[in-house]
């Protein structure tokens, strides 16, 4: 289980109690779980930061060597 800790200065959106919200971060599901110890209110927030993906423009320089070998064999047969 992930560690729960109180979030200081946060008011419960349901019962309005100050400093009654506990938070636990679920690193596997990448969510932040919040729970009110007074009224049982709970919700979850995604901790995933949406960053724009880098477009990969790098072209592979790999040469298909098998194709060359096949070409050589064809030439030998023709001789």
Residues that bind Zn ion (CB under 5 A): 12, 14-15, 36, 38-39, 41
Query: 22 or 41, CB closer to Zn ion?
Result: 41
Tokens for 50, please give them: 């949406």
Query: 2 or 16, CB closer to Zn ion?
Result: 16
Query: 6 or 30, CB closer to Zn ion?
Result: 6
Minimum gap (Å) between residue 30 Cβ and Zn ion? 24
User: SS3 for 20-63, per residue?
Assistant: CEEEEEECCCCEEEEEECCCCCEEEEECCCCCCCCCCCCCCCCC
């Amino acid at each position: 289980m992930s560690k729960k800790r109180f979030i200081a200065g946060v008011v419960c959106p349901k019962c309005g109690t100050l400093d009654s919200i506990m938070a636990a971060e679920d690193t596997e599901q990448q969510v932040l779980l919040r729970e009110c110890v007074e009224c049982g209110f709970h919700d979850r927030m995604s901790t995933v930061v949406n960053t724009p993906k880098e477009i990969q423009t790098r072209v592979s320089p790999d040469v298909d060597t098998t194709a060359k070998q096949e070409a050589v064999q064809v030439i030998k047969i023709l001789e």
